Amino acid sequence: MTQLTFAPPPPNTEATETLRAEVRAFLDVELAHMTPRQRAQSWSGRDPAFSKKMAERGWLGMTWPKKYGGHERSALERYVVLEEMLAAGAPVGAHWIADRQSAPSILRFGTEEQKQFFVPKIARGDLFFCIGMSEPDSGSDLAATRTRATAVEGGFKVNGTKVWTSGAHVAHYMILFCRTDAKSDDRHGGVSQFIVDMKTPGIKISPIYDLSHEHHFNEVVFEDMFLPTSALLGNQGDGWKQVTGELAYERSGPDRFLSTFTLLIEGFAMLGENVDDRAKIALGRIVAHLMTLRRMSRSIAGMLQRGEDPAVHAAIVKELGTSLEQEMVEVLRLIVDAEPDGGADNPYVAVLAHTIMHAPSFSLRGGTREILRGMIARGLGLR
């Protein structure tokens, strides 16, 4: 049958549950000062000092080889740390992208020199990355990218503009996706990836404030920026293939259904134990969805462990997961008698406001709902 099935996830072990207890004990102390409103930022919340503490515990670069500063633990152990961090609303945003996808890409496609230079620093929590993919005329249509790296003596000269670049103003490096060769018949050919030091002359970073007046996004303009040949990641012209693998990492994790978990916690807290049955039904349904998604997402951790390609499975988890995150807002709105107010002292009311204002991004960032549905359709053999 043409089915997209999720194999049973690897079972919990003594190692995973010992680790879980360690993470919880750590979070009890480290997050004690955080308000629900701060926790609701989920993996958009940045705290480099917190990232450093996680690194000291060995919780960054968990699955990477020890020779590059990693800890050679299983994908499931890494999953335990991620889900515990997200469920607690830990401020993991500073290192999130580097740990989730930049270092794994460097380990897969990088030169020995790149691996030795970047990966240990990422594992130590000293280097943070951002992703240079979207452009003014290239959003979902990544192949329409226009930023161009032209070969010059000793390297490349880059011109172009990236937008919606989360964290460009605080990241140390960017993995830049751009055109290196003329457009060929192959729409996906002629693009490459580079590792770019954000201090390189010729980069101009400007904030783009979101509708909450928060500064996560940036516009990044490259004007005759020189990159040495050593900045190339992987083979010239292989950018499309490389970036597709990177996106699977970006889409498969618990960050795609747990980023509103603080809202659910505060909803339960607001309603209390004696809330009526209709509310319990509505909330119980959400928990049922979360339990199923968690199983599917852990199944993908098993696929990663076995070296399988989870791209289509990841698309399913992200689409179902972000839909649930968005629906959660609507469900809680209807059963809790309160109006959203981001400045309120009431934690539920403040978290609700935050979540409503960020919910539209859930089904945009990391691949839009429409792109994901197209990927699933391709997985079904329809395209």
Partner 1 sequence: MSETTDLIRDMAEKLFGDACEKSVLAAAENGQFQTGLWQEITDAGLAGALLPESAGGSDLAIEDALAALRISASRAAPVPLAETMLAGWLASSSLAVPEGPLTIAPASNGAPLTLKKSTSGWRLDGVAKRVPFARNAAAILVLAEADGANMVARVDPKICALTHGRNLAMEPRDDVTFACDLGAGDVAPASNHVNAETLRAFGAAMRANQIAGALSRALEITLQYANERVQFGKPIAKFQAIQHNLAMLAAHSAAANAAADMAAEAAANDMNLLPIAAAKARCGEAASVGAGIAHQTHGAIGFTREHMLHYFTKRLWSWRDEFGKESDWSLIIGRAAAKAGPKKLWSDIVTA
By CB under 8 A, name the binding residues for partner 1.
1-6, 8, 20, 24, 83, 87-88, 261, 264-266, 268-269, 271-275, 277, 279-285, 287-296, 299, 313, 316, 319-320, 370, 372-374, 376-377, 379-383
Q: Which is nearer to partner 1, 44 or 299 (CB)?
A: 299
Least distance from partner 1 to the Cβ atom of residue 191, Å: 24
Q: Which is nearer to partner 1, 53 or 280 (CB)?
A: 280
Least distance from partner 1 to the Cβ atom of residue 283, Å: 5
Q: Which is nearer to partner 1, 87 or 243 (CB)?
A: 87
Q: Which is nearer to partner 1, 117 or 268 (CB)?
A: 268
Least distance from partner 1 to the Cβ atom of residue 231, Å: 37
CA torsion angle for 364, 260, 83, 274 (degrees, to 10)?
A: -160
Q: Which is nearer to partner 1, 282 or 364 (CB)?
A: 282
Least distance from partner 1 to the Cβ atom of residue 179, Å: 27
Least distance from partner 1 to the Cβ atom of residue 211, Å: 27
Least distance from partner 1 to the Cβ atom of residue 182, Å: 30
Least distance from partner 1 to the Cβ atom of residue 275, Å: 6
Q: Which is nearer to partner 1, 151 or 269 (CB)?
A: 269
Least distance from partner 1 to the Cβ atom of residue 104, Å: 25
Q: How many CA atoms lie within 13 A of 212 on its CB side?
A: 19
Q: Which is nearer to partner 1, 78 or 179 (CB)?
A: 78
